Amino acid sequence: MSKVALVTGGTRGIGAAISIALKNDGCKVAATYGSNSDAANAFASENGIDIFQWNVADAAACEAGVKQVEEKLGAVDILVNNAGITKAAMAHKMSVEQWDDVIRVDLDSVFYMTRCVLEGMREKSFGRIITISSINGQKGEMGIVNYSAAKAGVIGFTKALAQETARKNITVNAVAPGYINTELLADTPEKVMENILSKIPVGRLGTVEEVSRIVTFLSSEEAGFITGSTISANGGQYFS
Protein backbone atom coordinates (compact mmCIF):
# COMPACT_ATOMS: atom_id res chain seq x y z
CA MET A 1 0.00 0.00 0.00
CA SER A 2 1.38 3.40 -0.97
CA LYS A 3 2.53 5.63 1.84
CA VAL A 4 1.24 9.18 2.08
CA ALA A 5 3.90 11.90 2.11
CA LEU A 6 3.24 15.55 2.94
CA VAL A 7 5.88 18.08 1.84
CA THR A 8 5.55 21.68 2.99
CA GLY A 9 6.78 24.21 0.48
CA GLY A 10 6.71 21.28 -1.89
CA THR A 11 6.10 22.96 -5.24
CA ARG A 12 9.34 24.88 -5.81
CA GLY A 13 13.09 24.43 -5.44
CA ILE A 14 14.27 21.73 -3.06
CA GLY A 15 10.69 21.03 -2.00
CA ALA A 16 9.59 20.32 -5.56
CA ALA A 17 12.49 17.91 -6.06
CA ILE A 18 11.54 16.12 -2.83
CA SER A 19 7.89 15.86 -3.85
CA ILE A 20 8.84 14.40 -7.24
CA ALA A 21 11.36 11.97 -5.71
CA LEU A 22 8.84 10.67 -3.18
CA LYS A 23 6.22 10.22 -5.89
CA ASN A 24 8.72 8.31 -8.01
CA ASP A 25 9.41 6.18 -4.95
CA GLY A 26 5.75 5.12 -4.90
CA CYS A 27 4.27 7.56 -2.40
CA LYS A 28 1.03 9.48 -2.68
CA VAL A 29 2.32 13.02 -2.29
CA ALA A 30 0.67 16.19 -1.01
CA ALA A 31 2.70 19.34 -1.66
CA THR A 32 1.81 22.55 0.12
CA TYR A 33 2.45 26.11 -0.97
CA GLY A 34 1.89 29.53 0.49
CA SER A 35 1.03 32.12 -2.13
CA ASN A 36 2.29 31.50 -5.67
CA SER A 37 -0.75 29.76 -7.13
CA ASP A 38 0.42 30.01 -10.73
CA ALA A 39 3.68 28.20 -10.02
CA ALA A 40 1.94 25.63 -7.81
CA ASN A 41 -0.73 24.84 -10.40
CA ALA A 42 1.92 24.49 -13.11
CA PHE A 43 3.88 22.11 -10.87
CA ALA A 44 0.77 20.03 -10.13
CA SER A 45 -0.19 19.82 -13.79
CA GLU A 46 3.30 18.84 -14.91
CA ASN A 47 3.96 16.26 -12.23
CA GLY A 48 0.55 14.88 -11.27
CA ILE A 49 1.02 15.76 -7.61
CA ASP A 50 -1.80 16.99 -5.36
CA ILE A 51 -1.28 20.51 -4.06
CA PHE A 52 -2.76 22.27 -1.03
CA GLN A 53 -2.52 25.90 0.01
CA TRP A 54 -2.17 27.11 3.57
CA ASN A 55 0.05 29.24 5.77
CA VAL A 56 2.34 26.91 7.71
CA ALA A 57 3.02 29.71 10.22
CA ASP A 58 -0.62 29.47 11.36
CA ALA A 59 -1.33 26.56 13.70
CA ALA A 60 -5.07 26.45 12.92
CA ALA A 61 -4.38 26.53 9.18
CA CYS A 62 -2.02 23.58 9.56
CA GLU A 63 -4.68 21.55 11.38
CA ALA A 64 -7.29 22.32 8.74
CA GLY A 65 -4.85 21.66 5.90
CA VAL A 66 -3.68 18.31 7.22
CA LYS A 67 -7.31 17.23 7.58
CA GLN A 68 -7.85 18.07 3.91
CA VAL A 69 -4.84 16.00 2.93
CA GLU A 70 -5.97 13.04 5.02
CA GLU A 71 -9.50 13.20 3.64
CA LYS A 72 -8.17 13.03 0.09
CA LEU A 73 -5.09 10.81 0.37
CA GLY A 74 -5.23 9.09 3.76
CA ALA A 75 -3.28 9.39 7.01
CA VAL A 76 0.17 10.92 6.68
CA ASP A 77 3.07 8.46 6.96
CA ILE A 78 5.89 10.81 5.95
CA LEU A 79 6.17 14.50 6.84
CA VAL A 80 8.82 16.66 5.23
CA ASN A 81 9.08 20.09 6.86
CA ASN A 82 10.66 22.01 4.01
CA ALA A 83 8.87 25.38 3.92
CA GLY A 84 11.11 28.30 4.77
CA ILE A 85 11.80 31.97 4.12
CA THR A 86 14.70 34.35 4.60
CA LYS A 87 14.62 38.02 5.55
CA ALA A 88 18.20 39.22 5.74
CA ALA A 89 19.50 42.10 7.85
CA MET A 90 22.31 42.68 10.30
CA ALA A 91 21.05 42.10 13.85
CA HIS A 92 21.31 45.77 14.87
CA LYS A 93 19.10 46.69 11.91
CA MET A 94 16.72 43.72 11.97
CA SER A 95 13.12 44.56 12.76
CA VAL A 96 10.96 42.57 15.15
CA GLU A 97 8.76 41.74 12.16
CA GLN A 98 11.71 40.29 10.22
CA TRP A 99 12.65 38.18 13.22
CA ASP A 100 9.12 36.98 13.92
CA ASP A 101 8.26 36.17 10.32
CA VAL A 102 11.27 33.91 9.83
CA ILE A 103 10.93 32.18 13.21
CA ARG A 104 7.26 31.47 12.59
CA VAL A 105 7.70 30.03 9.11
CA ASP A 106 11.03 28.27 9.59
CA LEU A 107 10.71 27.00 13.18
CA ASP A 108 7.20 27.31 14.60
CA SER A 109 5.72 25.61 11.53
CA VAL A 110 7.82 22.51 12.19
CA PHE A 111 6.06 22.05 15.52
CA TYR A 112 2.64 22.98 14.13
CA MET A 113 2.89 20.47 11.29
CA THR A 114 4.43 17.70 13.38
CA ARG A 115 1.79 17.83 16.09
CA CYS A 116 -0.92 17.42 13.44
CA VAL A 117 0.43 14.06 12.22
CA LEU A 118 2.18 12.65 15.27
CA GLU A 119 -0.77 10.97 16.97
CA GLY A 120 -1.72 9.17 13.77
CA MET A 121 1.84 7.94 13.37
CA ARG A 122 1.88 6.73 16.97
CA GLU A 123 -1.37 4.80 16.48
CA LYS A 124 0.01 2.80 13.56
CA SER A 125 3.57 2.59 14.96
CA PHE A 126 5.16 4.06 11.87
CA GLY A 127 6.27 7.49 10.81
CA ARG A 128 9.03 9.41 9.14
CA ILE A 129 9.58 13.09 9.99
CA ILE A 130 12.31 14.92 8.09
CA THR A 131 13.03 18.63 8.46
CA ILE A 132 15.17 20.68 6.14
CA SER A 133 17.68 22.65 8.20
CA SER A 134 20.72 24.44 6.73
CA ILE A 135 24.47 24.75 6.94
CA ASN A 136 23.72 28.16 8.43
CA GLY A 137 21.87 26.49 11.30
CA GLN A 138 25.02 24.49 12.01
CA LYS A 139 27.68 27.20 11.77
CA GLY A 140 25.70 30.47 11.77
CA GLU A 141 25.98 33.22 9.18
CA MET A 142 26.19 36.98 9.56
CA GLY A 143 23.22 38.95 8.29
CA ILE A 144 20.69 36.18 8.93
CA VAL A 145 20.58 35.65 12.68
CA ASN A 146 16.84 34.93 12.44
CA TYR A 147 17.29 32.22 9.81
CA SER A 148 20.36 30.73 11.54
CA ALA A 149 18.50 30.61 14.85
CA ALA A 150 15.46 28.94 13.29
CA LYS A 151 17.50 26.35 11.41
CA ALA A 152 19.54 25.57 14.54
CA GLY A 153 16.27 25.27 16.43
CA VAL A 154 14.93 22.54 14.16
CA ILE A 155 18.08 20.50 14.80
CA GLY A 156 17.38 20.65 18.53
CA PHE A 157 13.73 19.83 17.90
CA THR A 158 14.81 16.81 15.84
CA LYS A 159 17.12 15.45 18.55
CA ALA A 160 14.52 15.82 21.28
CA LEU A 161 11.53 14.45 19.38
CA ALA A 162 13.53 11.46 18.13
CA GLN A 163 13.90 10.32 21.74
CA GLU A 164 10.15 10.58 22.33
CA THR A 165 9.09 8.60 19.27
CA ALA A 166 11.78 5.97 18.72
CA ARG A 167 9.91 3.12 20.39
CA LYS A 168 6.91 3.80 18.17
CA ASN A 169 8.99 3.25 15.00
CA ILE A 170 8.78 6.95 14.18
CA THR A 171 12.12 8.34 13.08
CA VAL A 172 12.91 12.05 13.19
CA ASN A 173 15.83 13.43 11.23
CA ALA A 174 17.09 16.66 9.68
CA VAL A 175 18.92 17.43 6.46
CA ALA A 176 21.25 20.43 6.39
CA PRO A 177 22.00 21.53 2.82
CA GLY A 178 24.78 23.92 1.95
CA TYR A 179 24.58 26.12 -1.14
CA ILE A 180 22.16 24.45 -3.56
CA ASN A 181 21.54 25.49 -7.16
CA THR A 182 18.00 26.89 -6.95
CA GLU A 183 16.27 29.99 -8.24
CA LEU A 184 17.21 31.76 -5.01
CA LEU A 185 20.80 31.92 -6.27
CA ALA A 186 19.92 32.70 -9.88
CA ASP A 187 20.61 36.43 -9.59
CA THR A 188 23.76 36.15 -7.49
CA PRO A 189 26.48 38.49 -8.86
CA GLU A 190 29.39 36.68 -10.48
CA LYS A 191 31.99 37.83 -7.94
CA VAL A 192 29.75 36.80 -5.05
CA MET A 193 29.23 33.38 -6.63
CA GLU A 194 32.99 33.00 -7.11
CA ASN A 195 33.45 33.71 -3.41
CA ILE A 196 30.81 31.13 -2.49
CA LEU A 197 32.35 28.45 -4.69
CA SER A 198 35.82 29.14 -3.31
CA LYS A 199 34.59 28.00 0.10
CA ILE A 200 33.12 24.71 -1.15
CA PRO A 201 35.82 22.01 -1.41
CA VAL A 202 34.04 20.11 -4.21
CA GLY A 203 34.01 23.35 -6.21
CA ARG A 204 30.36 23.49 -7.18
CA LEU A 205 26.84 24.07 -5.92
CA GLY A 206 24.75 21.13 -4.82
CA THR A 207 21.69 20.03 -6.76
CA VAL A 208 18.13 19.71 -5.54
CA GLU A 209 18.19 16.07 -6.61
CA GLU A 210 21.11 15.36 -4.27
CA VAL A 211 19.06 16.68 -1.35
CA SER A 212 15.92 14.86 -2.43
CA ARG A 213 17.74 11.51 -2.54
CA ILE A 214 18.73 11.93 1.11
CA VAL A 215 15.13 12.65 2.06
CA THR A 216 13.84 9.68 0.08
CA PHE A 217 16.25 7.35 1.87
CA LEU A 218 15.38 8.74 5.31
CA SER A 219 11.71 8.20 4.45
CA SER A 220 12.21 4.53 3.69
CA GLU A 221 11.77 1.39 5.76
CA GLU A 222 15.49 0.75 5.33
CA ALA A 223 16.34 3.89 7.32
CA GLY A 224 14.56 2.71 10.44
CA PHE A 225 17.73 2.67 12.57
CA ILE A 226 18.59 6.30 11.77
CA THR A 227 16.90 8.81 14.06
CA GLY A 228 17.86 12.06 15.76
CA SER A 229 20.48 12.66 13.07
CA THR A 230 21.34 15.67 10.96
CA ILE A 231 22.69 14.76 7.53
CA SER A 232 24.92 17.43 6.02
CA ALA A 233 24.99 17.98 2.26
CA ASN A 234 27.38 20.87 1.71
CA GLY A 235 30.24 19.66 -0.47
CA GLY A 236 32.67 19.60 2.43
CA GLN A 237 32.15 23.24 3.36
CA TYR A 238 31.39 22.52 7.01
CA PHE A 239 31.79 19.49 9.26
CA SER A 240 29.83 19.10 12.47
Q: Please, how many CA atoms are within 13 Å of residue 138, restricted to the half-sphere of its CB?
A: 19
Q: Determine the Cα–Cα distance for residues 85 and 216; give it in Å rounded to an integer.
A: 23
Please name every residue paired with 129 in a beta bridge, in sequence order, or none if there are none: 79, 172
Question: Cα–Cα distance between 110 and 92 in angstroms, integer?
Answer: 27
Name the active-site residue from 33, 147, 179, 238. Answer: 147
Mark whether 238 is an active-site residue: no
- For residues 192 and 172, what is the distance between their CA atoms, to the nearest angstrom? 35
Question: Count of H helices and E strands in the chain?
Answer: 9, 7
Contact 224, 171 (CB under 8 A): yes
Query: How far apart (Å, rounded) are the C-alpha atoms in residues 223 and 116?
Result: 23
DSSP-derived 3-state class of residue 84: coil
- Positions marked catalytic: 147
